[in-house]
Structure 1
Amino acid sequence: MTPREPRSDARHAKTFGRRKRRSREELMVPPAEFRSYYGRPVLKPPVWEWKVPAYLFTGGLAAGTSLLAAGADLTGRPALRRAGRTGSLAALLASGYLLVADLGRPERFHHMLRVAKPTSPMSVGTWILTAFGPGVGLAAVAEVLPSGLRRTLPGRLLRAAARPAGLASAVVAPAVASYTAVLLSQTAVPAWHEAHAPLPFVFTGSAAASSGGFAMALVPVAEAGPARALAAFGAATELVASKVLEKRLGLAAEAYTTGKAHRLRKWSERLTVAGLAGTLLGHRGRAISVAAGTALFAGSALQRFGVFEAGVASTKDPKYVVTPQRERLENR
């Protein structure tokens, strides 16, 4: 051991003591607030267009109407069954078009069916839609089959297969209604990622409300009882889940309660509340049923666009990224 080492250790101890005393002193200047370099956002905003929130809406509508159609088929409500089956197919076709059209290379959509990756929400969603679509299509074709073809052997076989096909699609319908929320929450977008717990309930409730409202507007009042029940349940779920999202999301909730997203979701809330009140009176007349159904349908669509706009807004302000990261570090 050299003679200088103890003196070095002593100097080190004194330096450490001075630093420790300084750390307990009150800072004269508050900590700098981080924004970003030259005011630029930390994350790139999503490049998706309006087709994506429209796809989120039509996918939920397809799921809910197929569920209504299966129940109507089992309980002997032909008008509700017909509206549910044809509406589900129309919404599914629109959903597929919107999804494929928004891809950078739409002609390569079939490449997504080459693999099944359980850890990828996009891959899982693709296979959910693949399992959901054939049954919806078969049941809807059987519903609109011309009367002349219904009496033929192929027509009778098609009509016989319509019920099991519709029931098979109804089993997958809840996953179709909620998987898009999981897909959004697995991205790096703060407003979507932080909402991973309540967002599936918002989307599922929205899907049920829009599907019930769709049927209420098209089906005679006498057969629309299940549609009113589904619409009321969905509207209540959507309203409660939206409030939970705003209260428990922390800083990211500002993206939902300010700007364009707030305006869209506020109108969605007003229309959904009005539609929910109308479901309680829908049995009294056709006009009330149509008005309530239309309000629920529109409110559900605005909810999806509002959630989408909140995600875009949260990528443009770096505080939604940096502040939660610093809070997590401090908690550790």
Structure 2
Amino acid sequence: MSISVADFPQVWQKPSAEELLASLKKLQVEPPIWNPKTSRKIIIETCQNAAQFRREVAAYLSSIVSSSLGWIQDDDEKEALWDEASRRLSERCGRAAMGEITRRWPLESQTSSPFELIIREPPIIGDCLGLKTWGSSYLLAQSLGEIAEKSLSHLLQLGRPNQSLEVLELGSGTGLLGMAAAAIWQTNVILTDLPSIMANLGFNIERNRSTIEILGGGVESGALTWGSDEDNAERFGEKNQFKIVLAADPLYDDDHPELLSSAIHDHLMIDNDARAVVMVPQRDLVTKRLIAKFLSIMASSDLKVLEEHTLAGQDDWDEDGEDSGIECWWAVFGRQ
């Protein structure tokens, strides 16, 4: 590691407030950006090498939080140090404890120079997991060009903007996937999520709107509660409007397979050319069970699996950060 905790001023040395604050600033954790091209072996080795350093940092930060800092006379300086040390600890406590962050997500398009989307992620409040960007959305976003050329070539032609073709994203969260689709596919994408998610989603859309429009795409948003016709009547009262439906990481509760299946049936156009693309990270046995349940429900309808794949990437769901490797299942569905 380039930083050694042993080189920092220790509490027992009674350093000045300025010295402690400077050390705490150096320990600020930058939000991770995942790269599916990085091998799983490198990811694991990097995380293992960092484990001891994380434990040392946690002990150092705890020593400051638990200290009375009695040698520092200014109470405001003490509060500032405790607050800063607490923030450094929360940055290392997984998604549930992470404060607000802003991430820059690099992306590539076959028809333009590389670009990036800037995404704000507020702290998780209650069960609002849609306020964070999860690994599968970035993994799917990076695969959009290839998907357009192979799985959706009958609908999309890269390099030829098509604003008349509207795409619906279900469970957009922070908006990374839907905005990437608008920019890379050069089409109009409507991003949707629960009403409680919409304020941050709208903020991210406006922050990136000019980038998307320069690249030839368009983006809108609307609240969409799966399984509630009343809540969705104003914008989505008309059924089966969209030729493409996207969803990333939409299955993490027992009722999600049925709700997602219902949402796809309600909004995917009744047309043999229409397609739904769904990606789900296989984090554990629970997630795999939800995928199996979703596939079973879809199989009993007119929506069938046309393609099924797995793709290795990264995620930071793991609270300890020991191994961020994740294998994502994804599939393309069509009406038959």
TM-score range, shorter chain: under 0.3
Higher share in helix = 1
> What's the TM-score once normalised by structure 1's chain length?
0.24
TM-score by length of 2: 0.23
RCO higher in 1 or 2 (8 Å CA, sep ≥ 6)?
Answer: 1
Higher relative strand content: 2
Rg larger for: 1
